[in-house]
């Protein structure tokens, strides 16, 4: 039986990074993962993020943006495109190629860092002295390994909707939404979170009529509402997404004619039939098959593995990270937790602040934020000041043809310390990093205002918003 210092269960963005960092620190490390490629005939590392989540969705978003630009935006640049057409199967083929490249890259990194990759489903079997025994089930072929430390990084799975079963033919989860080879004429989406908005945007841009049904009465409730309201206006009035809020779904029927959804909206009963329906109502922790109960691994009432502030579970030398524990379900949060746990096992004291973890939605325009929203600050009674600036007068944004959006900086009214940065606009997924850096180093809005920002760049809008927080905006 093989023995390891560290065994990681799960090779998503939390697990594979934890395994690599543990190996770098000198630990004999193995990573157990049951993921397979799209064809189902070979192992595929990377978890949901690389295989059916973050990476493939960004590939489709980029492809759909190019098609939309060729149809609607190129002409104003003097580029005339006649007879432009769209090949959904080719778009999916390109996406699959990117996924294969990156998942294969993880296998290379494991080999480079001397991480042993064990294909199969990992589950707790018990203890042998101070060592945890972990069974690896590779489609019925079982083996056992022992480890001093175990890091659980099993991620999350789509939250099921009791009214209908996902078949990934007509009723789709995130995986099915990423693999459509034809553009549906009418596409329904249940849920206006990150997955719903991104997938709805992809298929709307390439020709689908898209309706998004959201149970919540407000749009993007977790985001700053000034930014959310601007996003809603752009997505609905300018881009043509039909987003219904405050919806109660009563019945869903999947039949030969399509997927029929009966729902209530404002007291009125409505019925819509879609060619395809995406169910995107969130994700839940994945602990199925882990055998947690047998060894007493504690979970909370929502199914998350219970951990303390440093990701320790109730069991000695058993840790848990990423989507399977509390906190935001974000790949970069999982990765940083993975690094932190490996370093804690080595006796180090790494730092991870949930308040400075950025959020991004890769629509067009993009949405990104870090820190507190204005609504949260009001609810907490925090005295604050704010500065805003738009992309409409930014030379770089105008040159790109993407001059919609706003940057908002929130700072403490007395100390000027940055409390939150919120953005909608071009490439704000990249711009938000400056806000994250500022908050990590306890910067003030004046600090950002006094840093020289290159001209012409999109970052000047953040600079201007920081100036505006002190009522000294120069361009607005």
DSSP structure string for 115-168: EEEEESEEEEEEEETTEEEEEEEETTEEEEEEEEEEEE---EEEPP-TTS---S
The reply to whether 191 sits in an annotated binding site is: yes
Distance CA 436, CA 431 (A): 9
List the beta strands (DSSP E) in 1-140. 2-9, 29-33, 115-119, 121-128, 131-138
The reply to whether 130 sits in an annotated binding site is: no
The reply to whether 282 sits in an annotated binding site is: yes
88 and 67 Cβ atoms separated by less than 8 Å? no
The reply to whether 332 sits in an annotated binding site is: yes
The reply to whether 439 sits in an annotated binding site is: no
The reply to whether 214 sits in an annotated binding site is: yes
Token output for 287:
């602990």
The reply to whether 323 sits in an annotated binding site is: yes
Distance CA 427, CA 132 (A): 45
The reply to whether 194 sits in an annotated binding site is: yes
The reply to whether 122 sits in an annotated binding site is: yes
The reply to whether 156 sits in an annotated binding site is: yes
Distance CA 305, CA 85 (A): 48
The reply to whether 416 sits in an annotated binding site is: no
Cα–Cα separations (whole angstroms), residue 302 to 138, 295, 296, 330, 450: 29, 19, 16, 18, 46
Q: Give 3-state DSSP helix, strand, coil % of the chain, rounded to 5.
A: 35, 30, 35
The reply to whether 6 sits in an annotated binding site is: no
Active-site residue, from 77, 149, 351, 455? 455
The reply to whether 112 sits in an annotated binding site is: no
453 catalytically annotated: no
Distance CA 132, CA 4 (A): 10
Q: Any idea which residues carry the catalytic annotation?
A: 455
- Please give the annotated binding residues for NAD(+), written as ranges: 191-198, 214, 282
- Please give the annotated binding residues for FAD, written as ranges: 58, 122, 154-156, 323, 329-332
- Please give the annotated binding residues, written as ranges: 58, 122, 154-156, 191-198, 214, 282, 323, 329-332
């Amino acid at each position: 039986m093989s023995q390891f210092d560290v065994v990681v269960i799960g090779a998503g963005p939390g697990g594979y990074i934890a395994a690599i960092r543990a190996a770098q620190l000198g630990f004999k490390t193995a990573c157990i993962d049951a993921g397979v490629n799209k064809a189902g005939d070979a192992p595929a590392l990377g978890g949901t993020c690389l295989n059916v989540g973050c990476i493939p969705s960004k590939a489709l978003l980029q492809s759909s943006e190019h098609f939309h630009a060729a149809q609607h935006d190129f002409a104003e640049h003097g580029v005339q495109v006649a007879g432009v057409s769209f090949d959904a199967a080719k778009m999916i083929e390109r996406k699959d190629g990117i996924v294969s490249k990156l998942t294969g890259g993880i296998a290379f990194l494991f080999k480079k860092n001397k991480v042993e990759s064990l294909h199969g489903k990992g589950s707790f079997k018990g203890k042998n002295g101070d060592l945890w025994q972990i069974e690896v089930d590779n489609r019925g072929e079982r083996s056992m390994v022992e480890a001093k430390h175990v890091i659980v990084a099993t991620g999350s799975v789509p939250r099921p909707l009791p009214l209908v079963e996902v078949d990934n033919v007509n009723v789709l989860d995130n995986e099915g939404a990423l693999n459509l080879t034809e553009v549906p004429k009418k596409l329904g989406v249940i849920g206006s979170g990150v997955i719903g908005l991104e997938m709805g945007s992809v298929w709307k841009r390439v020709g689908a009529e898209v309706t998004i049904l959201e149970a919540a009465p407000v749009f993007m409730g977790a985001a700053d509402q000034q930014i959310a309201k601007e996003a809603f206006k752009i997505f609905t009035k300018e881009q043509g997404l039909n987003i219904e809020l405050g919806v109660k779904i009563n019945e869903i029927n999947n039949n030969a004619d399509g997927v029929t959804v009966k729902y209530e909206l404002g007291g009125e009963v409505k019925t819509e039939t879609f060619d395809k329906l995406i169910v995107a109502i969130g994700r839940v922790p994945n602990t199925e098959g882990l055998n947690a109960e047998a060894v007493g691994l504690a979970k909370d009432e929502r199914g998350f593995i219970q951990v303390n502030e440093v990701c320790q579970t109730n069991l000695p030398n058993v840790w848990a990270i990423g989507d399977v524990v509390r906190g935001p379900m974000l790949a970069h949060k999982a990765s940083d937790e993975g690094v932190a746990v490996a370093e804690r096992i080595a006796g180090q004291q790494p730092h991870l602040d949930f308040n400075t973890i950025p959020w991004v939605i890769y629509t067009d325009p993009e949405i990104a934020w870090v820190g507190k929203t204005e609504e949260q600050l009001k609810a907490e009674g925090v005295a604050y000041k704010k500065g805003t600036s738009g992309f409409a007068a930014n030379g770089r944004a105008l040159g790109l043809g993407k001059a919609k959006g706003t940057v908002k900086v929130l700072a403490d009214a007395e100390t000027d310390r940055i409390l939150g940065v919120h953005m909608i606009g071009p490439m704000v997924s990249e711009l938000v990093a400056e806000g994250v850096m500022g908050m990590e180093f306890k910067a003030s809005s004046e600090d950002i205002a006094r840093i020289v920002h290159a001209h012409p760049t999109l970052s000047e809008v953040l600079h201007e918003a920081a100036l505006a927080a002190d009522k000294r905006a120069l361009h607005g």
